Amino acid sequence: MKITPKKSLKMKAKIVVLLISLSLVFTSCATLKTKTTKTMDIYGDGVIQMPIIVDLNVSEVKAETKISSQSLSIDDLKNEAVADLLKKADADVLIEPKFEVVINGSMNTVTVSGFPASYSNFRQIQLSDVELLNVGIAQKAKTHEPAPAPTKKKKTGKGFAIGASILAGAALFVLIVLTS
């Protein structure tokens, strides 16, 4: 069987199309999942809140913990140390926290000490509590939330689209060259 140039051209075109099809089949796409949340502060337009008063039970014994890491920033390491101390002490807030930071090469170590405290006796405000609030004794605790740990960049499928475009362009170029 003799292969003519016209048949050779058709066979090459079929091979190119087959290669493009196979490359598209073996290229995977990643799924990106996101979540949306809505929050609203209790102080602001549209929200009327009856104030809640709470007792703060502060431990008389100072607690301490130490955490080390090579990958976390100093601020994140401080937050992790406070969270660890509160968990160990079964407390809600740390009063008068003191931090000691040691940097040794790439290893960061944070030691935190303070007085663990817990909230109790939640109740609605009474007229007798208003005088206490006017004196300015009531304070708002600062809330620290650690930044998310560094994660690998999620694949979004852009690489697949770019690769498919390049392959399609190459196949079109080959077909134009072969047919001319």
Residues 67 and 103 in one domain: yes
Percentage of the chain with pLDDT > 70? Answer: 54
Residues 14 and 57 in one domain: no
Residues 56 and 24 in one domain: no
Per-residue pLDDT of 136-145, as tens digits, reads 665 666 666 5
CATH number (domain holding residue 80): 3.30.110
Number of domains present in the structure of the chain: 2
Average pLDDT over residues 25-50: 65
Query: CA 145, CA 80: separation in Å to the nearest integer?
Result: 9
Asked whether residue 40 is domain-assigned, the answer is: no
Domain residues for the domain of 163 are 5-28+156-179
Asked whether residue 85 is domain-assigned, the answer is: yes
Asked whether residue 89 is domain-assigned, the answer is: yes
Residues 70 and 118 in one domain: yes
pLDDT of residue 115: 96
Asked whether residue 150 is domain-assigned, the answer is: no
Asked whether residue 110 is domain-assigned, the answer is: yes
pLDDT of residue 111: 95
Q: How many CB atoms lie within 10 A of CB 68?
A: 14
Residues 110 and 173 in one domain: no
Residues 117 and 168 in one domain: no
Confidence of residue 37 (pLDDT cuts 50, 70, 90): low
Asked whether residue 93 is domain-assigned, the answer is: yes
- The residue type found at 125 is I
Confidence of residue 155 (pLDDT cuts 50, 70, 90): low
Asked whether residue 35 is domain-assigned, the answer is: no
Query: Lowest-confidence range among 7-21, 99-113, 146-160?
Result: 146-160
Distances (CA, A) of 178 to 3, 6, 55, 129: 15, 10, 84, 89
Answer yes or no: is pLDDT of 91 > 90.
Answer: yes
Query: CA 142, CA 137: separation in Å to the nearest integer?
Result: 16
